[in-house]
Amino acid sequence: MKRTLTALTGALAVLALCTSCTPGPGNGTGSGSKDPIRVGAISSLSGPSSFPEATQAAQAVFDRFNQAGGLNGRTIEYSVQDDKSDPGAAASAARELVGQNEVVAMVGSSSLLECQINSAYYTQEGISAIEGVAVDPVCFDSPAIAPTVVGPYGDTELSLTLGSEQLGLQRICALIESVGSTAPAYEQAIARWSEQTGKRLVFSDTTLPYGLDDYTPYVVKAKAKNCDGVLLGLIEPDALGFLKAAQTQGWDDTTFLSLTTVYTENFAAAAGGFVGKGLHVPAEFAPFTDPKDPATRDWRELMTANKIPLTSFGQAGYLAATNFIEVLKSLSGDVTRESVTAALKRMQPIENPIIGSPWKFGNTPNRSGWPVALTPGATSWESTGDDWIRLPD
C-alpha cells in the first residue's frame, strides 16, 4: 500500500506539470476521410486485480462494426493500454493515447485507479471516457467520465438492500477490500443503505488488502459476531479463498452476499460447494442464466464467437462500445474529439434490455441490479428475482 501511495504522489506530480499542456488536434479529420477513427482504453490487465473481459468485449463490438463497413467506410482503431494497477503507468498510458495517438474518446476502460489519475487530464484535453469497469470513486464524480456499471459502491448498496429487504437478514456483517480512497467510498455506501432502510451492520471491515493467502483470521472474527449474512466485497479469486476458509472453519450456517465481481461461470463452478446457505448477488446487467433470454442473446453470441468468458465485466465493455457506436452514428459532420464529446453531452438516453434503465452520459446513470444466486452444491447461477432492484438516483 505504501508503494502504491508513493506512486500515486508521483503520478499526481506528473499531472501538475501538465497543467499548461496544449490540447492536440483531436484526430480532426473531415467527414469524407477514410482514416480510422481512433479510440482508446486503459485497463488493469495485470497487477493485484485484472479486468480483461471488458476491453475484449469492446474490441469484439468494434470488430463487428468494422466488418459491416464501419461509419461510412471508416473503421474504429481500438488501442488498449495496461496500467498494471500502477498510477505512473496509468498516467503515461493516458498521455500516449490522448496526447500522441489523438484518440477521439476513451471507451471500455476497466481499471482500479485510472479515473483518479487521469480525470483532470481528460477534462483539460476535452476528451470523454465511457468506462467499462469503474472502481475508484472519481469515476462516478468526473464530468469527463461516465461508467456503464453501477460500480462497487452502488453495488454495495444493492447487495445490502437485497440481503436486508428481500432475504430478511437481520445481522449482516461486511468484509470489503479497498485501496487508496476506496474505503471511505464504501463506508459512504453503507451509510446510504442505513439511511434508506434504517438498518445497521453488526460488524464491518472495509480495509482488507487484495490477494491474501489466508482469510482464516477474518473468517474467525466475523463468525464470532453471529452474523446471519455476510457481504463479501472481494474480487473473484479472493472471494473464493474466503469461502473455502469459511468452510474449513465449519461456517456453513450463514448466507453470503457479494458484489457483481463474482458473477462468472468459472466462479460458480469453483465455489458451489462453499457458499454456506447460499450466495446472493445483484447482477449489474441482465442475468445470463438463460441462454435463450433475448436481453442477453446478442452479447452472448458475440462473446461465444470470440471465446470471451461470460461475465458482467464483458457486459460492461459490450455496452460501452455499443453505446459509443450509437452516439458516433448521430454525428452529421466531422468525427473529432470535440464533436464526439459534444454528442455525448447532448445525447438522449439509450435503451438496451441488458441494463435496468436507459443509459446516458453522466454520473452514475446505472442504479439497478437483478438478483441471482448460487445455491449450495450448485455449479451454475440462477435468477431469483422477477424485476430489477433499483436504488434512488
Domains of the chain, by residue range, sit at 2-19+37-150+295-346, 152-283+369-390
- Burial (CB count <10 Å: 0-12, 13-18, 19+), residue 25: exposed
Topology (CATH level 3) of domain 152-283+369-390: Rossmann fold (3.40.50)
Q: Output the nine-digit C-alpha cell for 140.
A: 462516478
State which amino acid sits at residue 392.
P
Q: What was the pLDDT predicted at 179?
A: 76
- The cell numbers describing 339, all together, are 464533436
Q: Facing residues of 368 across strands?
A: 390
Q: Which is it for strands 279-283 and 255-258: parallel, antiparallel or unpaired?
A: parallel
How many other CB atoms sit within 10 Å of the CB of residue 18?
16
Q: Which residues contact 39 (CB under 8 A, 6 or more apart)?
A: 62, 76, 77, 78, 79, 103, 104, 105, 106, 107, 324
Phi, then psi, of 378 in degrees rounded to 5: -80, 155
Torsion of CA 204, 210, 211, 212, to 10 degrees: -40
pLDDT in tens, the chain (393 residues): 333 333 333 443 333 334 333 344 444 444 456 899 999 999 999 877 778 999 999 999 999 999 999 999 999 999 999 999 899 999 999 999 999 999 999 999 999 889 999 999 999 999 999 999 898 899 999 999 999 999 999 999 999 999 999 999 999 999 999 877 789 999 999 999 999 999 999 999 999 998 899 999 999 999 999 999 999 999 999 999 999 999 999 999 999 999 998 999 899 999 988 999 999 999 999 999 888 999 999 999 999 999 999 999 999 999 999 999 999 999 988 999 999 999 999 999 999 999 998 999 986 578 899 999 999 999 999 999 999 999 887
pLDDT of residue 272: 81
Q: Which amino acid belongs to residue 135?
A: V
Q: Residue 7's pLDDT is what?
A: 38
Is 2-19+37-150+295-346's fold the same as 152-283+369-390's?
yes
d(CA 119, CA 197): 33
Sheet holding 145-147, edge to edge: 76-82, 37-43, 105-107, 129-131, 145-147
348 vs 361: CA distance, rounded Å:
9
SS3 202: coil
Class of the CATH domain delimited by 2-19+37-150+295-346: alpha beta
DSSP string, 312-361: HHHHHHHHHHHHHHHHHHT--S-B-HHHHHHHHHHPPPB--TTSSS-B-S
Instruction: Give the separation between CA 381 and CA 179, rounded to whole angstroms.
Output: 29
Grid cell of 122 as nine digits: 481528460
Nearest to 42 by CA among 120, 144, 102, 117: 117
Report pLDDT for 146: 95
